[in-house]
Amino acid sequence: MTYAVIGGGNTGQAIAGYLRLKEESVKLYTRDPNKAQRISKQGLEVKGIYSGKVILEASTSMDEVISDAKFIIISTTAMGHETIVKQIKPILKDNQTIVFFPGYWGALECKRILGEHLIKNKNITVAETSAMPFVSIADNAGSVFINKIKHNVLISTLCEENPIALSFMNRFPQLILGNSVFETSLNNSNVVIHPPITLFNAARIDASEAFQFYTDGASPFSVNYVEKMDIERLQIASRLKVNTQSILTVLNEFYDTGYPTLYEALPGLFPTGLAPTTLDYRYMTEDIPFGLVPISELGKILGVETPYTDSIISAASLLMDSDYRKEGISFKGLTKESLLSMSVV
Amino acid sequence: MTYAVIGGGNTGQAIAGYLRLKEESVKLYTRDPNKAQRISKQGLEVKGIYSGKVILEASTSMDEVISDAKFIIISTTAMGHETIVKQIKPILKDNQTIVFFPGYWGALECKRILGEHLIKNKNITVAETSAMPFVSIADNAGSVFINKIKHNVLISTLCEENPIALSFMNRFPQLILGNSVFETSLNNSNVVIHPPITLFNAARIDASEAFQFYTDGASPFSVNYVEKMDIERLQIASRLKVNTQSILTVLNEFYDTGYPTLYEALPGLFPTGLAPTTLDYRYMTEDIPFGLVPISELGKILGVETPYTDSIISAASLLMDSDYRKEGISFKGLTKESLLSMSVV
């Protein structure tokens, strides 16, 4: 099977490397011509849970990367989704499948940009997951380290008529089928963990101090705040009749653990997770506009109050001099009824 | 002259010790019977800028402390103001002067609790300052260390007819006359500095990590946030026709320095100021309800938007599971016109 992996970051390289180790045909898209050249010339050294040296074609030409692909895996940050979908829109071929790893409402964004007509005419399957499949990190010298595999990562498609191919499910055994793209995007655990912990550690992140994000940074009050935000997320999901689990359960299922509290789970699961050294980082720039803003905006439409979520959006926007609400997913023009019809498959 | 100092904390002990060194007659009120007994028995060792051993009468009986006082100095935290004023209300004598060190809207609170009738009948002078007169710290073994004297601390009274006595002004040469209690309360520099820096360092304060509040904790983005809050405070003051200066100017005048930016002033002025080791601290519990809430509530009445201030109030209230807006100063029932008539003397 032929895969296009869009995004040459930590996860993009891990997915591409993993697929090549499984002897799939893979092309990797990266915006960085030097990286494309290096990977195409030297290949990738995969280390960690999987290991081996793979030959891999990387390119800055979107057309070249996706033209033969059955599956187009988009593993950029959520900020890149709109640009990527606009880029691939005119060159999509019949029967291709687009998978956002992870969703961050990417499937709905994709539908909005491509239009129902194009999706139907070309029989495009649009899917998204609730999380990255691996925890991984790539260096700039040509190796990618796959640290952990997440289990029970949800994957959903836009509509029942276009289910995700069995071959894809078999290739990523960590995936389990979800019921709708609302379920996958609302089960993204990052969005309620990263922003509040970042905000309550903002000064030392801003000062580039080295500290452990989940060990030093997740204090009792901060984790309590995360749990309150989680309740708001679960309330939205419940109104939309979407299956969700608490963040603690999601994390325990990802890593097959049994932590009794989130306060123990975070340092337990990520004992060496260094904090970012700048506030201009995806914990804010991705998780707020593409994670918290949609929860808050859904709350407005559904009549669910989300004060914990809203406070983080406001304080972080003001701190960073950014309008995260404007940058983010807003569900403009949608009503409670239209949301409900889309969320229940 | 006879002084009653209400509050046996760091500043109360410093003020009482300073006054005794100047050979004034002083009684100190403290709620702590052990502290009262110890001070009455052993006196106080004053160190730092002033020094000497003083004999001092301390008591847990409010009546005993204030009955002969010309000046009643209230130097508890703002949370204590209401209780103290209610306690002294039935035992106030003619011609006494009440001074809140510092105000935090204490003079207006006092007027609300005592009533105009009592204030007029007994000819009570009510005054407040914009800041503590000293930077000081007391230990539990009987000594108080006066570290710094602030200069240009504002003092205002409730009404022109009852000015502050010249003898009081002479005794505290760091005081300068302000025009109204709006001016003193709106010139409190703590309220825009402490809460945001605390919030953006919340996790490590919550985890009781030792760090320098103004050196490690005042990162560029955090200080920028403080400056934005300061602009909101200045806008409120301007609408009320109240004289105020930027926090940077206030600090430079307190300490007779010339720092060009707040980002340089904070670590420069307070290089060894350790952060609190709990979030349940006056940087939140005093500065938000008695500092930021009144700014925000004034904004509502005056039609000035205060998003930076509001975000800190909301996020901190949710983080601490406290309703700081409800606990704080609200100016209930006052209109733009009534505020303006009170603020312009």
Q: Is the pLDDT of residue B7 over 80?
A: yes
Q: Are the beta carbons of A199 and B201 separated by less than 8 Å? A: no
Fold: same for B2-179 and B189-343: no
User: For A296-325, how does the pLDDT look when each residue is reduced to its tens digit (9 = 90+)?
Assistant: 999 999 999 999 999 999 999 999 999 999
| Residues 6+ positions from A69 with CB-CB distance below 8 Å | A2, A3, A4, A27, A96
Mean pLDDT for the stretch of residues A173-196: 95
Question: What residues of A are in contact with residue B283 (Cβ under 8 Å)?
Answer: none
* Spatial distance between the Cα atoms of A206 and B256, rounded to a whole number of angstroms: 30
> A286 to chain B, minimum CA–CA distance in Å?
19
Domain A189-343: CATH superfamily, name plus number: N-(1-d-carboxylethyl)-l-norvaline Dehydrogenase; domain 2 (1.10.1040.10)
ipTM for this prediction:
0.88
Residue A59 burial (CB count, 10 A)? 18
Question: What residues of B are in contact with residue A314 (Cβ under 8 Å)?
Answer: 307, 310-311, 314-315
Note the pLDDT of residue A167. Answer: 96
A positions 263-282 inside 8 Å of B (CB): 279
From the list B249, B219, B253, the residue with the least C-alpha distance to B234 is: B249
CA distances from A320 to A69, A77, A198, B121, B220 (A): 39, 19, 12, 54, 11
Phi-psi region of B177 (alpha: psi -120 to 50; beta: other; left: phi over 0): beta
Note the pLDDT of residue B273. Answer: 87
- A225 touching B (Cβ < 8 Å): yes
Residue with tokens 């030297």, as numbered in its chain: A42
> B306 to chain A, minimum CA–CA distance in Å?
11
- A218 touching B (Cβ < 8 Å): yes
* Spatial distance between the Cα atoms of A217 and B203, rounded to a whole number of angstroms: 6
Question: What residues of A are in contact with residue B224 (Cβ under 8 Å)?
Answer: 321
Residues in chain B: 345
A91: helix, strand or coil: helix
Which of B206, B219, B312 is the closest to A222 by Cβ?
B206
From the list B129, B4, B2, B118, the residue with the least C-alpha distance to B72 is: B4
- A212 touching B (Cβ < 8 Å): no
User: For B180-196, how does the pLDDT look when each residue is reduced to its tens digit (9 = 90+)?
Assistant: 999 999 999 899 999 99
User: For B227-279, how does the pLDDT look when each residue is reduced to its tens digit (9 = 90+)?
Assistant: 999 999 999 999 999 999 999 999 999 899 999 999 999 999 999 889 999 99
Beta-sheet pairing, A52-54 with A44-48: antiparallel
Let me know if A193 is exposed, middle or buried by CB neighbors in 10 A (0-12, 13-18, 19+).
Answer: buried
Concatenated DSSP letters of B45-65 = EEEETS-EEE--EEES-HHHH
Averaged confidence pLDDT in chain B: 95
Q: Is the pLDDT of residue A119 over 70?
A: yes
What residue spans of A155-271 are helical by DSSP H?
166-171, 181-186, 190-199, 202-206, 220-239, 247-255, 262-269
* Spatial distance between the Cα atoms of B256 and B54, rounded to a whole number of angstroms: 29
Query: What is residue A201's DSSP assignment?
Result: T
* Spatial distance between the Cα atoms of B268 and B263, rounded to a whole number of angstroms: 9
User: So where are chain A's domains?
Assistant: 2-185, 189-343
- A312 touching B (Cβ < 8 Å): yes
CATH class for domain A2-185? alpha beta
Comparing alpha-carbon positions, the chain B residue that sits nearest to A309 is B315
- B215 touching A (Cβ < 8 Å): no
From the list A175, A176, A180, the residue with the least C-alpha distance to A162 is: A180
User: For B196-221, how does the pLDDT look when each residue is reduced to its tens digit (9 = 90+)?
Assistant: 999 999 999 999 999 999 999 999 99
Note the pLDDT of residue B345. Answer: 62
Domain B2-179, second-level architecture: 3-Layer(aba) Sandwich (3.40)
Question: What residues of B are in contact with residue A219 (Cβ under 8 Å)?
Answer: 202-204, 206-207
Q: Could you tell me the pLDDT band of residue A345, with boundaries at 50, 70 and 90?
A: low
* Spatial distance between the Cα atoms of B292 and B284, rounded to a whole number of angstroms: 10
Comparing alpha-carbon positions, the chain B residue that sits nearest to A315 is B311
CA distances from B320 to A223, A228, B146, B288, B309 (A): 12, 12, 32, 12, 16
Question: What residues of B are in contact with residue A207 (Cβ under 8 Å)?
Answer: 216, 219
User: For B79-110, how does the pLDDT look when each residue is reduced to its tens digit (9 = 90+)?
Assistant: 999 999 999 999 999 999 999 999 999 999 99
* Spatial distance between the Cα atoms of B242 and B247, rounded to a whole number of angstroms: 15
> B214 to chain A, minimum CA–CA distance in Å?
11
* Spatial distance between the Cα atoms of A9 and A178, rounded to a whole number of angstroms: 26
Count Cβ neighbours within 10 Å for each residue of B273-295 and write b for 16 or more, e otherwise: eebbeebeebbbbbbbbbbbbbb
From the list A60, A65, A69, A57, the residue with the least C-alpha distance to A32 is: A60
A345: helix, strand or coil: coil
- B167 touching A (Cβ < 8 Å): no
Which of A201, A203, A221 is the closest to B218 by Cβ?
A203
Lowest-confidence pick of B1-5, B224-228, B318-322: B1-5
| Residues 6+ positions from B75 with CB-CB distance below 8 Å | B5, B6, B7, B9, B11, B12, B15, B101, B132
Mean pLDDT for the stretch of residues A205-233: 97
Residue A94 burial (CB count, 10 A)? 8
* Spatial distance between the Cα atoms of B166 and B43, rounded to a whole number of angstroms: 28
> B276 to chain A, minimum CA–CA distance in Å?
15
* Spatial distance between the Cα atoms of A124 and A93, rounded to a whole number of angstroms: 8
> B272 to chain A, minimum CA–CA distance in Å?
17
Q: Is the pLDDT of residue A293 over 80?
A: yes
Q: Could you tell me the pLDDT band of residue A344, with boundaries at 50, 70 and 90?
A: confident
Selected residue of B211, B215, B221, B320 to mutate for chain A interface (largest A Cβ count, 10 A): B221
B240: helix, strand or coil: coil
- Per DSSP (E only), the strands in chain A are 2-6, 25-29, 44-48, 52-54, 57-59, 71-74, 97-100, 125-129, 134-138, 143-149, 153-157, 175-177
Selected residue of B305, B319, B320 to mutate for chain A interface (largest A Cβ count, 10 A): B319
